[in-house]
Amino acid sequence: MKPLRIALTKGRLEKSTVELFEQIGLDCSCLRDKGRKLILPVGDGELEAVLAKAPDVITYVEHGVCDLGVVGKDTIMEHGSHFFEILDLGFGRCGFALAAPRGVDFYSGYREKTVASKYPNVARRFFESKKMDVRIIRIEGSVELAPLLGLSDGIVDIVETGVTLRENGLEVVERIAEVSARLIVNSASLKLRKREIEALAARLEAAIKGGN
Ligand code: PRP
């Protein structure tokens, strides 16, 4: 049987993913010593890990070239959901928040507000739910710069420790959603390789619960 192919988000979630895999007894020596390789065996031929940027994890799983993926709920909320989300992996905890310069009442006044975000879909849905017309400008990173430079009134962004906001004179106006890493599955794979996928998810779930 060929290995299940799992797309892993490179960077922030990578270390915790490897630790969780090792907790369930999967040999991750190739992942730990990967060099610049992007496709690596995990365990005893059980899994093949593909290292990708978060939105690409979703693309590979949606297209079925990867059976499974590990990706943050933030990316899922922004980039779609043509797959099954089967497990909250419990790590990578942070939240979406609306933030603005400290001491400024974001909601005051009648002028249309401008908000910068790396997550324009999440921002748009948040303001739609409030029936507020807001102009949204997409920024690729370090979104905190936008209000500091006078481009926007606020930002919708990920807040983890809150240090980036604090050190740049911003504060949370409202929390929007809680975020953590999720295990996602291609819908055809879930039918065709149901037993293997469910067994893996059950082992991961037991390790997560045991670790609490
Ligand atoms: C994220 C996020 C904030 C920061 C929040 O950025 O966009 O800037 O982390 O973390 P904190 O609350 O612990 O300070 P990231 O480091 O991923 O880089 P980016 O801004 O370039 O996306």
Q: Within this chain, do residues 100 and 78 fall inside the same structural domain, yes or no?
A: no
Q: Which domain holds residue 129?
A: 94-178
Q: Is the pLDDT of residue 159 over 90?
A: yes
Band of the pLDDT at 166, cuts 50, 70, 90?
Answer: very high
Ligand 1 mean position, distance from CA 159 (Å)? 7
Q: Within this chain, do residues 77 and 18 fall inside the same structural domain, yes or no?
A: yes
pLDDT of residue 1: 82
- Computed on alpha carbons and rounded to an integer, the radius of gyration of the chain in Å comes to 19
**H or E element that contains 125:** helix 120-129
Q: Within this chain, do residues 117 and 79 fall inside the same structural domain, yes or no?
A: no
Mean pLDDT of the chain: 96
Ligand 1 mean position, distance from CA 47 (Å)? 30
Structure-model confidence comparison of residues 20 and 110, the more confident one? 20
CA distance 131 to 69: 34
Q: Within this chain, do residues 85 and 184 fall inside the same structural domain, yes or no?
A: yes
Ligand 1 mean position, distance from CA 143 (Å)? 8
CATH code, domain carrying 67: 3.40.190.10
Among protein residues, the one with the nearest Cα to ligand 1's atom 22 is 141
**H or E element that contains 210:** helix 194-211
Q: Is the pLDDT of residue 148 over 90?
A: yes
CA distance 98 to 1: 47
Q: Within this chain, do residues 88 and 189 fall inside the same structural domain, yes or no?
A: yes
Ligand 1 mean position, distance from CA 165 (Å)? 9
Q: Does ligand 1 have an atom closer than 6 angstroms to the CB of 44?
A: no
Band of the pLDDT at 80, cuts 50, 70, 90?
Answer: confident
Q: Within this chain, do residues 185 and 85 fall inside the same structural domain, yes or no?
A: yes
Q: Within this chain, do residues 19 and 73 fall inside the same structural domain, yes or no?
A: yes
Ligand 1 mean position, distance from CA 162 (Å)? 9
Q: What would the pLDDT profile of 119-128 be if each residue is shown by its tens digit?
A: 999 999 999 9
Band of the pLDDT at 212, cuts 50, 70, 90?
Answer: low
Contact 74, 119 (CB under 8 A): yes
Tally of domains within the chain: 2
Report the b/e string of 63-81 with b at 16+ CB within 10 A.
eeebbbbbbbbbbbbbbee
Give the mean pLDDT of 134-151.
Answer: 98
Q: Does ligand 1 have an atom closer than 6 angstroms to the CB of 166?
A: no
Q: Within this chain, do residues 153 and 197 fall inside the same structural domain, yes or no?
A: no
Query: What whole-number percentage of the chain has pLDDT above 90?
Result: 96
pLDDT of residue 164: 98
Q: What would the pLDDT profile of 3-48 be if each residue is shown by its tens digit?
A: 999 999 999 999 999 999 999 999 999 999 999 999 999 999 999 9
Q: What is the pTM of this model?
A: 0.95
Q: Best of 71, 117, 160, 172 to mutate for ligand 1, by most ligand atoms within 8 A of CB?
A: 160
**H or E element that contains 57:** helix 54-62
